[in-house]
Amino acid sequence: MLSTSFFALFLVGLLGGTHCVGMCGGIVGALSMGGGRWSLHLAYNTGRILSYGLAGALAGALGAASLGLAGQTTARLVLYVFANLMLVALGLYLLGVTGALALTEKAGQKLWRRIQPLTRRFLPARTVAQALPLGLLWGWLPCGLVYGALASALSAGSAWHGAGLMLAFGLGTLPNLLLAGVVLGRFNHFVRNVWVRRISGILVLGFGVYGLFGVRHLLQGG
């Protein structure tokens, strides 16, 4: 299941990347105004993906701790079902049901209100030393796609696996944001293609449904 989750989250990041451009487009534009150098975009995206990895590690560690506190079978079942339900929601998002993740974005607004003022210290970002911390901070922007991916990290069983899942998701988002303003027009046309999104949405949705059907085996194994 873990190996399919890596692929599923990479796919969600890649095909949901136009959502990421919408969320981070202003910052990408600010980097372009700062000179538009590849080094700035690389530094910003490195910081952003590192924050995803850190969040994944925290989620994985929290999930692992809950296994010990709540009992292996019960906690594993709850986390497993939750992770697969979120994969279903991510698949529905790719299929065009954008409201499937709307509620999750509200959950992080309180934290973001504390973090967002810190980003102003690094704007406009004209150096790598400004772009990297900007990305680290912007990685905590409330995003339904990120929170959906974090649900899988929560059930990963360890901090390392949780971090790995979120890094896979982050790498999936990289092409859209890194190439924004360069060759994004062509790539954006590809990821917006209705059949590409439908096939990818069905794949991710299928991973989630398949996982839910595996609950019986999980119970038998517990």
DSSP code per residue over 9-68: HHHHHHHTHHHHHHHHHHHHHHHHHTT--HHHHHHHHHHHHHHHHHHHHHHHHHHHHHHH
Highest mean pLDDT among 67-71, 77-81, 161-165, 192-196: 161-165
Structure tokens at 120: 């102003």
Q: Which residue has the higher pLDDT, 135 or 88?
A: 135
Mean pLDDT of 140-154: 83
Domain hosting 166: range is 2-221
| Domain tally, the chain | 1
pLDDT, one tens digit per residue, over 15-29 is: 776 556 555 656 665
pLDDT value, residue 185: 44
Q: Calculate mean pLDDT across residues 207-217.
A: 60
Q: How crowded is residue 134: how many other Cβ atoms within 10 Å of its Cβ?
A: 26
Is residue 123 exposed (0-12), middle (13-18) or buried (19+ Cβ within 10 Å)?
middle
Instruction: Tell whether the model's pLDDT for residue 87 goes beyond 70.
Output: yes
Q: Global pTM?
A: 0.76
Task: Give the chain's end-to-end CA distance (angstroms, integer).
Answer: 16
Distance CA 162, CA 177 (A): 23
pLDDT at 34 over 60: no
* CA 29 – CA 89 distance, rounded (Å): 30
Q: Three-class SS of residue 139?
A: coil
Q: Is the confidence at residue 78, as pLDDT, over 90?
A: no
Question: What is d(CA 149, CA 9) in angstroms, rounded to the nearest whole number?
Answer: 6
Residues 184-204 pLDDT 10s: 444 455 555 565 556 666 766
Q: Chain-centre distance of CA 125, in angstroms?
A: 24
Which two three-digit tokens encode residue 156?
A: 């990963």
How many whole angstroms separate alpha carbon 222 and alpha carbon 214?
Answer: 12
- With a CB cutoff of 8 Å and minimum separation 6, the contacts of 113 are none
What length is written for the chain?
Answer: 222
Which 8-state DSSP code applies to residue 120?
G
